[in-house]
């Protein structure tokens, strides 16, 4: 494990929608799951069976957060990454409820607020963020799906206004909104006396909760995967006028998270220590041994030994190995 900040290259904006996180909500039966199925290499994680009328789609039913965790392990496999490129969470409402239920059971309580010191919500939030961010860090696109509702808000002056928002509860909704690049509302409008399905990407009058990271995105497009991709590219084209296209790429931006292998890290640590002992037993005993103890306790806690480490502490072991190598490099 190593980080070299000076080796960083400027980030380039991808034209491929599969490189982004999208949050789509709308009324029932409008075609949200169909939209998701059109994404490249789509895998539907069906917390509800919205895919029943979609022949040929790849869908995995999810009935618990434990199953979501099992899927997460599957998504790490190279052969799975080869086949699938987009992960559709249908719906995020049920997924969040399953996550909350999992945390409650894990803590051995009946409700979230029974978890001591107000840590219930913190644990749910961390579980959701860690799970979905790990999927994007593996290189997948993520599409969250939710339904819609009208909600009344009160301004500071006491006046009220209505806004269309997702059915996902506000606390969970804020978590998801913070993660996404495109936040859109699918609905029907009447144009020339005919119903038309559209996707609202920016609400000019604040009656619809939506938005995103692309400031030149069209306010509204036809409700189709192709139309959204075109709107994305039009927004990027407009943005690129200000950068001469320098930071735009046609390639998908896959940021793949480095997978830490606990067993390999432990083997590496033991190999380094054994090598030091064989090379110079006296220096190992008088110089390295107390310093290695300090490094281990720095990351695992006072009085802890490397053999006390668990598989969940692979990150800590990687830092121990890194510090140990730096110690040797400075004293050999």
Contacts of 283 (CB under 8 A, 6+ apart): 276
Across 185-202, average pLDDT: 93
If phi > 0 it is left, if psi is from -120 to 50 it is alpha, else beta; for residue 154 that is: beta
pTM for the model: 0.72
Residue 250 structure tokens? 């046609």
Across 196-204, average pLDDT: 94
- Taking each helix axis as running N to C, give the angle between helix 314-331 and helix 289-300, from 0 to 180 degrees, rounded to the nearest 10: 150
Q: Does position 169 have pLDDT exceeding 60, yes or no?
A: yes
Please report where in the chains the tokens 């006072």 appear, as a residue: 302
Model confidence at 24, in pLDDT bands (50, 70, 90)?
very high
- Provide the pLDDT for residue 314: 86
Across 200-212, average pLDDT: 92
Mean pLDDT estimate for the chain? 86
CATH of domain 10-249: 3.40.50
pLDDT per residue as tens digits for the range 83-139: 999 999 999 999 999 999 999 988 888 999 898 887 888 889 989 988 998 898 888
At 190, phi and psi to the nearest 5? -100, 120
pLDDT per residue as tens digits for the range 223-237: 999 899 899 888 888
Question: Which comes out higher in pLDDT, residue 17 or 309?
Answer: 309
Minimum mean pLDDT range among 190-194, 221-225, 249-253: 249-253
- Provide the pLDDT for residue 15: 56
Q: Does position 255 have pLDDT exceeding 50, yes or no?
A: no
- Provide the pLDDT for residue 213: 87
What sign results for the dihedral spanned by CA atoms 32, 96, 83, 15?
positive
């Amino acid at each position: 494990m190593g980080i070299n900040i000076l080796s960083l290259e400027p980030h380039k904006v991808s034209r491929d929608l599969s490189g982004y996180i999208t949050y789509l909500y709308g009324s029932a039966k409008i075609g949200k799951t169909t939209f998701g199925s059109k994404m490249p290499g789509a895998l539907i994680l069906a917390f509800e069976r919205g895919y029943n009328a979609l022949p040929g789609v790849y869908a995995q039913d999810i009935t618990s957060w434990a199953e979501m965790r099992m899927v997460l392990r599957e998504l790490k496999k190279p052969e799975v990454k080869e086949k699938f490129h987009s992960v559709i969470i249908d719906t995020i409402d049920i997924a969040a409820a399953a996550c909350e239920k999992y945390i409650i059971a894990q803590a051995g309580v009946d409700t979230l607020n029974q978890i001591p010191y107000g840590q219930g919500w913190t644990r749910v939030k961390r579980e959701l963020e860690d799970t979905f961010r790990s999927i994007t860090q593996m290189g997948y696109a993520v599409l969250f799906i939710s339904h819609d509702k009208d909600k009344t808000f009160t301004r500071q002056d006491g006046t009220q206004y209505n806004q269309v928002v997702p059915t996902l509860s506000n606390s969970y909704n804020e978590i998801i909104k913070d993660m996404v690049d495109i936040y859109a509302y699918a609905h029907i409008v009447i144009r020339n006396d005919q119903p038309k399905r559209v996707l609202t990407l920016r609400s000019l009058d604040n009656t619809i909760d939506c938005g995103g990271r692309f400031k030149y995105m069209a306010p509204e497009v036809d409700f189709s995967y192709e139309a959204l991709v075109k709107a994305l590219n039009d927004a990027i084209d407009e943005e690129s006028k200000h950068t001469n296209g320098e930071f735009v790429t046609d390639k998908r931006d896959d940021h793949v998270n480095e997978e830490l292998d606990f067993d390999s890290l432990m083997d590496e640590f033991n190999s380094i220590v054994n090598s030091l002992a064989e090379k110079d037993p006296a220096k190992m005993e008088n110089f390295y041994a107390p310093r290695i103890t300090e490094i281990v306790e720095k990351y695992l806690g006072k009085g802890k030994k490397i053999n006390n480490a668990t598989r969940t502490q692979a990150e800590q072991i990687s830092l121990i190995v890194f510090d140990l190598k730096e110690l040797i490099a400075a004293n050999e």
